[in-house]
Amino acid sequence: MHEEWAALLSDRVPDCEAKVVFGKAGDKSIFVASPSLHRVCTLLFSHEDFDFHVLQLITGHDYLASEETKDTPAQRARIEVSYLLTSFRKNHDLILKVELPRENPTLDSVCDLWASANFQERECFDMVGVRFENHPDLRRILCPDDWEGYPLRRDYEVQKSWHGMEVEPEHKMNLPEREFEKRQKEMAAKHGV
């Protein structure tokens, strides 16, 4: 089904470069080029074969560049944004994905198509730092408005203080737990578990 959808998308939006991606298990997803996102979404929303009238979720995934290891393949630095679309009338789902650079990621907002995108895009901006153009009210949603940094970036480090308050005071940290983690790591390195 995903292959047919990708073919239809490439046919209607020529510059979208739709391709189906599938890992070793789980769900298939369709990648499109980020500049064509809004046009692709309009088609998905209105075309009767797709009929994706509900947007359930927008997520950002941050990837740092890394070498290949025994268990994991090599990665390049990027941010992926996933759109989870559903049709209650046709009973099917789609994971639509776009890839963005880690520096200054921007995307077109889809608030004009689905009202639920408003909160979801605000959360994606708050947590991963993707800016959405033409969003009516792009503010942080879960963190305070003047918080620094984006918590769900892989290289995020929490700020030292906020409005004169220490953010992670040493005496309040759970030290036994940290010690336990450290010991666990040492044991793992020693015995190769």
Partner 1 sequence: MDVKRDRIQTEGQEGVESELLTLNMGPQHPATHGVLRVEIKTDSEVVVQAIPHIGYLHRCFEKHAENLDYRGIIPFVDRMDYLAAMNMELGYVTACEKMMGQEVPIRAEYIRVIVCELGRIASHLLAFGTYAIDLGAFTPFLYAFDMREKILRFFEEISGARLLYNYIWIGGVWNDLTDAQLGLIETFCDEMWEEIDKYNNLVSYNKIFINRTANVGVLSEEAAYQYGATGPILRGSGVEWDLRKKRPYSIYDRFDFSIPVGSGEQGSKGDCWDRHIVRMREMYESIKIVRQCLKGIEAGPVMSKVSKIIRLPQGEIYHKTESPRGEIGYHIVSTGDKKPHRIKVKSPCFTHVSLLPHLAPGLLVADFVAVIGSIDIVLGEVDR
Query: Which residues of the shown chain bind partner 1 in the complex (CB under 8 A)?
Result: 22-27, 29, 53-57, 59, 61-63, 71-73, 75, 82, 84, 88, 91, 93, 95, 114-116, 118-119, 123, 127, 141-144, 151-152, 156, 193
The 10 Å Cβ neighbour count of residue 86 is: 16
Shortest distance, position 15 Cβ to partner 1, whole Å: 25
Sheet with strand 19-21: strands edge to edge = 19-21, 29-32, 92-100, 78-87, 54-63
Shortest distance, position 89 Cβ to partner 1, whole Å: 9
Q: Tell me whether residue 10 or residue 87 sits nearer to partner 1 (CB atom).
A: 87
Residue 151 belongs to what H/E stretch? Answer: none
Shortest distance, position 34 Cβ to partner 1, whole Å: 18
Phi-psi region of 176 (alpha: psi -120 to 50; beta: other; left: phi over 0): alpha
Shortest distance, position 23 Cβ to partner 1, whole Å: 2
Q: Tell me whether residue 164 or residue 193 sits nearer to partner 1 (CB atom).
A: 193
Residue 155 belongs to what H/E stretch? Answer: none
Residue 58 phi, psi (nearest 5): -125, 125
Q: How far is CA 115 from CA 109, 110, 112, in A?
A: 11, 8, 7
Shortest distance, position 98 Cβ to partner 1, whole Å: 14
Q: Tell me whether residue 101 or residue 154 sits nearer to partner 1 (CB atom).
A: 154
Q: Tell me whether residue 29 or residue 36 sits nearer to partner 1 (CB atom).
A: 29
